[in-house]
Structure 1
Amino acid sequence: MDPALIAFGLGVGVLVGMTGIGGGSLMTPLLILVFGVQPVTAIGTDLAYGAVTKSVGGFKHWRQKTVDLKLSTWMALGSVPAAIGGVYVLEAIQRSAGKDFDDVLLTVLAGALLLCGVATLGRAVFLKHLDEKERQNGSSTPRARIAAVVMGVFVGFVLGVTSAGSGALIAVGLILLFRLVPRRVVGTDVFHAAILLWAAAAAHIVAGNVDFALAGTILLGSVPGVWLGSHWSVRVPVAALRTTLAVLLIGAGLALLIKAGLGIPTAALAAFPVAVAALLIGAVLRDRRVEKRLRESPLDAPLPSLGR
């Protein structure tokens, strides 16, 4: 039993409970880069431990009434079959790629992490004020239900292949498409992810991609971690935490690309922190302009409409 695995599980569990993000996106690259686990085993094991972890978090959020059950159900109608299909696509890639399979899978996983990192950074930097002012829109219209199913299909397939995406990608969709209030974004995200992860984990168990001893060790830390994080999610501001997560996800994606043998120019690696710093500075300046405009506006002026 590795204490480091338990500690990492605790930390990732807290992040998942607070933000809905970080399960597969952080633990899978940690297993590969730090603990030397084979990529396909890391993905399957991550999904298995993540199913239990997010079930705990989902139950906690459900008790706190921060879950849109109808929306979670519609998303699951698309995500569950897509995730199972993604696992079988992964098996097909393994058969066709042969000895190059690990490098191919690392590249695909890196792409998913970069996508999740960009989505998380975009939410933290560019959707901050929308996140603060969002209103519940739910899944009451046929168009909203179709959007939920389509979003579920996309995220489910990505998760089935890479174990990443159930948190970051769904969260952005919940804000842009359904305008849930912030606490319900996290709660609905975690609750839906629990359903999705059980389906994907079952498919990986059938495929023989799960190390149960490894998953059990991680769970010793992640279960109490997600319980604490879910409890803190309604009390702790998480905007800065999301930005940090985004940087970690993008950094992990770049590290996996290097491990896969893809040469990344030094200039590109150097440009990454510069670009992140520029985005953060721009966001701070924009926040100050918005605050100044709000101070100068009449107190009884109506808030601008967000539209549909």
Structure 2
Amino acid sequence: MTLSYIASGFAVGLLVGLTGVGGGSLMTPMLTLLFGVAPTTAVGTDLAFASITKGVGTFTHRVRGTVNWQIVRRLCVGALPAAVLATLALKSYGALDKEIGQIIRYSIAGSVLLTVIALLFKAKMLAWINAHPSRQLQGNALVYATVVAGALLGTLVTISSIGAGAIGATLLVMLYPKLTSAEVAGTDIAYAVPLTAIAAFGHWWLGSINWALLATLLLGSVPGITIGSWAARAVPEKFLRGLLAMTLTGVAAKLIY
């Protein structure tokens, strides 16, 4: 079983390295569906996994100067309190109860479908925004919208461990269309570090992190991400994103039915 976890971590890491998304969207459903891990434990373990891997990614983006720290702060203002409140809600309603586990399972499925929408329609949404510059938010309206987006992501990520990647990046593109692709990626990863860390700490408090499982996943994912990042330019991004979208749609359907 340990080798299966390492191989799974490698596969997810490889795909994340190739496409930039799919970590939580694949890891959490995979743990639930393939290995029979309880939804709450899958979410908690994946959040701890994400906080470590995204921390490494943030360091790289910071060195490259591709993190917009002002946007990171705005997102965190909404995301971090939302993560704390979502954790308290899980604690209050019994995060380890079977009924709550089923709700979390459906939340994972919903988050996966949102990720699919973000993957498929990101380019079209960006084209529409660029074609209607008068519709773009400015000033305080943009600040408030960013904080609200952070709160939504904070809640979604804490409950399902999914949303910080593709969904977060898509929201950034919609709110800040002038950011470069590298800045979107760097900013998305940077705000997710404190968010996933707080959410992971909350799940540790709830007792829903499997540390041995986390260690084996990291053993596979680190080389996977490294190889995927090196090979990213050799594989058509459109093909990979289409394949990922099809895979995630199947995962969501399996989670629901």
Please, what TM-score do these two structures have when normalized by structure 2? Answer: 0.86
**Secondary structure class of the residue paired with 1:35:** coil
Structure 2 counterpart of 1:87, which letter? T
2:191 is the counterpart of 1:192? yes
Matches within 5 A, 1:134-149: 141-149=139-147
Cα deviation, residue 228, structure 1? 4.6
Quote the residue 2:248 is aligned against: 249
Q: In 2 relative to 1, CA 256–176 (structure 1 residues): closer, same or farther, beyond 3 Å? A: same
1:63-113 Cα offsets, whole Å, 9 max, x none, are 222222221121112111111222222233436x95433323212221221
Residue type of the alignment partner of 1:70: Q
Aligned length: 252
Partner in structure 2 of residue 81 of structure 1: 81
Per-residue deviation, residues 164-223 of structure 1 (Å, max 9, x unmatched): 111121111111110121222222112221221111101111111100000011111223
Q: How does 1:197-236 map to 2 (within 5 A)?
A: 197-229=196-228
Whether the aligned pair in 2 keeps the contact of 1:87 and 1:200 (CA below 8 Å) is yes
Gaps of 5+ in 2: none
Match of 1:289 in 2: none
SS in 1 for 2:65: coil
What amino acid does structure 2 have at the position aligned with 1:176?
A: M
Q: Distance in 2 between matches of 1:143 and 1:128?
A: 19
Structure 1 residues 42 and 131: CA distance shift in structure 2, 3 A: farther
Cα distance in 1, alignment partners of residues 230 and 73 from structure 2: 23
Greater helix content: 2
**Matching residue of 1:62:** 62
Give the Å deviation of 1:127.
4.0
User: Residue 130 of structure 1: CA displacement?
Assistant: 6.8
Q: Which residue pairs with 1:158 in the alignment?
A: 156
Question: Aligned residue for 1:43?
Answer: 43
Measure, in 2, the Cα distance between the counterparts of 1:169 and 1:48: 19
Q: 1:23 to 1:84 in 2, by over 3 A?
A: farther
Greater displacement, 97-106 / 22-31: 97-106
The structure-2 alpha-carbon separation of the partners of 1:60 and 1:24, relative to structure 1 and needing over 3 Å to count, comes to same
Compared with structure 1, are the counterparts of its residues 60 and 236 closer, same or farther at alpha carbon in structure 2 (3 Å cutoff)? farther
Aligned counterparts, 1:93-172, within 5 A: 93-94=93-94, 98-123=97-122, 126-127=124-125, 141-172=139-170
Q: Per the alignment, do residues 65 and 242 of structure 1 end up closer, same or farther by CA in structure 2, a change over 3 Å counting?
A: farther
Instruction: Report how far residue 140 of structure 1 moved.
Output: 8.8
Unaligned runs of 5+ in 1: 259-308
Larger radius of gyration, structure 1 or 2? 1
C-alpha deviation, 1:256, in angstroms: 0.4
Question: What is the rounded CA distance, in whole Å, between the counterparts of 2:52 and 2:20 in structure 1?
Answer: 14
Contact 2:126 2:173 in 1 (8 A): no
Residue 4 of structure 1: aligned partner: 4
Who is 1:13 aligned against? 13
SS class of match (1:80): helix
Between 69-78 and 163-172, the greater mean CA deviation after superposition: 69-78
- Tell me the secondary structure at the aligned position of residue 94 of structure 2: helix
Which one is further off, 226-235 or 102-111? 226-235
Q: Percent of aligned pairs with the same residue?
A: 38
d(CA) in 2 for partners of 1:62 and 1:225? 22
Deviation at 1:243, TM superposition (A): 2.5
> Which residue of the partner structure matches residue 71 of structure 2?
71
Tell me, yes or no, if the aligned pair for 1:160 and 1:200 is still in contact at 8 Å: yes
Shift of 1:227: 4.3
Cα pair distance change 1:234/1:11, threshold 3 Å = same
Residues 231 and 145 (structure 1), Cα distance of their counterparts in 2 relative to 1, 3 Å cut? farther
Aligned partner of 1:283 in structure 2 is: none
2:171 aligns with one of 169, 173, 179: 173
Q: CA deviation at 1:240?
A: 2.9
Q: Which has the higher contact order (CA 8 A, sep 6+)?
A: 2
Given that residues 79 and 149 in structure 1 are in contact (C-alpha distance below 8 angstroms), is that contact kept between their aligned partners in structure 2? yes
> d(CA) in 2 for partners of 1:186 and 1:18?
13
The alpha-carbon deviation at position 31 of structure 1 amounts to 0.3
Q: What is the CA-CA distance between 1:242 and the residue it aligns to?
A: 2.3
